[in-house]
Structure 1
Amino acid sequence: MTPLKLLIIACLIAFTAGCATHSAKVDFDRNTDIETMHYKTFAWLTKGKIMAPAVDINPVMKQRVDNSIEQAFIAKGYQLVANAENADFTISYTVGSRDKIKVNSYPATYNTGFGWGRGYYGGRGYYGSMSMGTETSVRQYTEGKLAIDIYDVKTHQPVWHGWATKRLTSDDKEAPSAMLNDIVVKVVSQFN
């Protein structure tokens, strides 16, 4: 392959890996002892809707989450009812964020072309000194998490717990509604 083709392939791989690190990771856990196929109606578990709100929760963002979750369940064909005792299942959620730090350490020659750059063997040839330096990068970022819980009204048992975690970007912070709706739909789509 020509060096240009190698460069293009390397850029595509780096771009794909970069996109993957900023997508939401979605998963769920299910209580298999309770059948959910007959569910048609839902209500909020509590009047406040959120399970345990943080002291510093943004009330505007909370309203967005409330609405997004309601709309996602309605879009799946469930009907929202006011009285929880008349519903097939109830829902609640938790939301939060955490500052994280990621530290990477690579041999100094790692970035010079698959480790075969100048200095791979200490800059002295194959039999030269094997010591080489390292390059360390430190990145700080915020990871957000949303978890949605479903409870069976008849048995008062937890039925389903779905969650998503996502590294929040500056775009997510500037326009949170689109990102939030996308994540809620991904989480709720796991419930059936």
Structure 2
Amino acid sequence: MRPFSIAIVLFLLSACTSVQVSQDYDPLTDLSHRGTWQWREAVQPPVGDLRIDNPLLDRRIRTAVANNLEGRGIVRAGDRPELSLSYHLVLERKIESDTTHTSMGFGRYYYPWYGGIGTETSIRQYDESRLTIDIHEVDTGQLLWRGVGTYRFRTYKTPQDAADAMQKIVDKILSQFPPVS
């Protein structure tokens, strides 16, 4: 395989594993001094998709969130937390296409007007995951911060690989919290 081809393959593979993140928050609320949190729900409400309604996945997401926050000194409180957290995971079917130019021809002899460019179009379906993490005010229930990570859904060979991947996704989403003014 030529070096250029290897670079293209590596770029495409890295694009498949990347997480696109965004955030929204109330700019009037200072979230930097909040130090305790608790989950709003014991488990994510079922959505009817076995890939999402999975207690093992729920535990991986919750563990990843707890690891991230507690690693930054935001501790889980049993009573009287300052923030309540929830998450929501959805999968959407997406379609992507690529067109490549495969050949170019020119006319000769008796058909000088004959020519053209050959193209091939590939169409693929994939599942896109969107993990939303919400942070609410405990007393009012008001949404203070929302982080969203969008990435391609995939399966993993081992439970540890799945847990490591979820930790990276959650870390990237929560890297935006607390927002910097």
Task: Give the TM-score normalised by structure 2.
Answer: 0.80
Query: CA-atom RMSD, angstroms?
Result: 2.5
Q: Within 2, Cα distance between the matches of 1:31 and 1:129?
A: 63
Identity among equivalent pairs (%): 26
Tell me what 1:76 maps to.
72
Paired letter, 1:147: T
* Residue number among 126, 134, 155 corresponding to 1:149 in the alignment: 134
Compared with structure 1, are the counterparts of its residues 148 and 35 closer, same or farther at alpha carbon in structure 2 (3 Å cutoff)? same
Tell me what 2:170 maps to.
184
Compared with structure 1, are the counterparts of its residues 107 and 16 closer, same or farther at alpha carbon in structure 2 (3 Å cutoff)? closer
Answering whether residue 107 of structure 2 is matched by residue 124 of structure 1, we say yes
Query: Which consecutive residues of structure 1, in runs of 5 or more, have no partner in the other structure?
Result: 110-119
Query: Which consecutive residues of structure 2, in runs of 5 or more, have no partner in the other structure?
Result: none
Q: How does 1:32-181 map to 2 (within 5 A)?
A: 32-46=27-41, 48-50=42-44, 52-55=45-48, 56=50, 57-83=53-79, 86-109=80-103, 120=104, 122-124=105-107, 128-129=113-114, 131-171=116-156, 175-181=161-167
What is the number of equivalent residue pairs in this alignment? 171
Return the structure number with greater strand share.
2
Contact 2:19 2:149 in 1 (8 A): yes
Tell me what 1:30 maps to.
25
Task: Give the TM-score normalised by structure 1.
Answer: 0.76
Q: Within 2, Cα distance between the matches of 1:160 and 1:184?
A: 15
Contact 1:92 1:148 in 2 (8 A): yes
Answering whether residue 11 of structure 2 is matched by residue 11 of structure 1, we say no
Q: Within 1, Cα distance between the matches of 2:88 and 2:158?
A: 18
Contact 1:49 1:92 in 2 (8 A): no
Compared with structure 1, are the counterparts of its residues 170 and 90 closer, same or farther at alpha carbon in structure 2 (3 Å cutoff)? closer
Paired letter, 2:47: A
Paired letter, 1:145: R
Deviation at 1:180, TM superposition (A): 0.6
Contact 2:43 2:58 in 1 (8 A): no
